[in-house]
Amino acid sequence: MATTMRPDAAPSPAHHHHPTYHEVTRDIAATLGHPKRGYFILFGFVLLVLAAGIVALLYQIRRGLGVAGYSPPVMWAVYVTTFVFWVGIAHSGTLISAILYLFRSAWRTSVYRTAEAMTVFAVMTAGLFPLIHLGRLWYAYWLFPYPNQRGLWVNFKSPLVWDVFAVSTYFTVSTLFLIVGLIPDVAAIRDRATGWRKKLYTITALGWRGADYQWRHYVKAYLYLAALATPLVLSVHSVVSWDFAMSIVPGWHATIFAPYFVAGAIYSGVAMVITLMVPLRKVFRLERYITVVHFENLSKLLLLTGMIVAYSYLVEYFIAWYGGNPIERATFWNRAFGDYWWASWTMILCNGALPWLLWFRKIRRSIPALFVLSLFVNLGMWFERYVIIVVSLSHEYEPYAMGNYTPTWVDWTILAGSFAWFFMWFLLFAKNFPTVSITEVKEIIPWPRRREVRA
């Protein structure tokens, strides 16, 4: 009978001195509300950067995509790069919350909420970029299936249309997953809160009381959502990779792209989870719930996916050489030794070389080292997409049609604005909803019993 969420999950070694259920509620509820001055200063800074991004966008809307440096043959550039970057970031959230849930990994309980919230906000950020990249963003509705004035519908054979369906499905499902996980937690906070927050949580708890008939449906719904989200997460970045792989651009047209992109997405996402979790744990004093064990497990995921990414890089170069196609070979020669050599080597260094450090246990268990490494991985993964997109487009078939691209201040400002947009949502979330799941952390703590359990 699979009535409980994790019937036989063994508590992790870090929980030898279990906090009591009441301590869990108290400690996690204490992270909410009453922000200090530092929070407001940070939030103000984030809003300022966001405003700068909006100004740059308005300028681009007024003057056209030329101000973003677009010029033939490079008509997909920083915006598509950043779109893929943020969609990739989103992937580890669902990996941790859905796939590790199905694998019954008890350690995920402390980290999954942050990862899931990060997923939702990263998709919200990613979703802006196809629109920004359109140039005439008031025609965004052309993406959706509707008949135009000649009665013609969208082309379902186009990977760009698949992308619309994949990303909007992913956004919807990951948001629902986050909300469902929050319901029992919000109810626990509701029963402790006062004032306007009590009203907010009473509404958002949807009348949750933890009654037996509620849990009965809840555990099933959660299980099926996890089962649906698991193939979804693998499909979304595959579809994103097909945006490239389905075309005949050298450097894009490869069957390895789907697994290569999915592994890269999870790799970048895990890095972002570490980047967010290190300061969060410190500021919220959650050292008791997010321990070195959690970071070590995350870094093992980072190591695994990093090795897959490094392998994909090798295979790409190997096939370019071994395949005997002179165009493909020239493209990869250009990547490594052409005008963009610095971008390619940044990517290879950050994603292909640095994760090898994680073979050392000392580094896996050192939180400062992991934090620094995660920043390099974030940087490297952005450059990976830059290399794939910009460098491939700049160097296709005909030498007379080759040309270089340089990002402008508009690109950089909008890129910075996207980080601000992401952190704005994350900061708002962190002070109003629990960033560590109260319910699931309690689940791995055994209930007090009066009698010994019969063997």
**Does residue 180 interact with another protein by CB under 8 A?**
yes
DSSP assignment letter at 227 = H
**Does residue 4 interact with another protein by CB under 8 A?**
yes
- Output 20 or 406, the one with its CB closest to another protein: 20
Helices 292-322, 108-126: axis angle to 10 degrees equals 50
**The one among 90, 225, 310, 436 contacting another protein by CB under 8 A:** 225
Binders of another protein among residues 25 to 54 (CB under 8 A) are 25
**The one among 212, 255, 326, 362 contacting another protein by CB under 8 A:** 212
**Does residue 439 interact with another protein by CB under 8 A?**
yes
**Does residue 247 interact with another protein by CB under 8 A?**
no
Q: Of 192, 200, 209, 202, give the one whose Cα is nearest residue 26.
A: 192
**C-alpha span between 266 and 420 (Å, rounded):** 22
CB of 336 to another protein, least distance (A): 33
**Is residue 439 within 8 Å of 68, Cβ to Cβ?**
no
**Does residue 98 interact with another protein by CB under 8 A?**
no
**Does residue 5 interact with another protein by CB under 8 A?**
yes
Binders of another protein among residues 191 to 210 (CB under 8 A) are 191-192, 206-210
**C-alpha span between 435 and 280 (Å, rounded):** 9
Task: Tell me the window of 130-138, 231-239, 261-269, 373-381 that interacts with another protein (CB under 8 A).
Answer: 231-239
**C-alpha span between 35 and 205 (Å, rounded):** 23
**C-alpha span between 188 and 27 (Å, rounded):** 12
Burial class (CB in 10 A: 0-12, 13-18, 19+), 13: exposed
**C-alpha span between 391 and 404 (Å, rounded):** 8
Query: Position 36: which residue type?
Result: K
**The one among 3, 322, 359, 397 contacting another protein by CB under 8 A:** 3
- Output 211 or 455, the one with its CB closest to another protein: 211
DSSP assignment letter at 293 = H
Tokens 């002179």 correspond to 326
CB of 96 to another protein, least distance (A): 18
CB of 150 to another protein, least distance (A): 8
- Output 1 or 455, the one with its CB closest to another protein: 1
CB of 1 to another protein, least distance (A): 7
**Does residue 406 interact with another protein by CB under 8 A?**
no
**C-alpha span between 121 and 128 (Å, rounded):** 11
CB of 220 to another protein, least distance (A): 4
User: How many residues at the interface with another protein, by CB under 8 A?
Assistant: 67
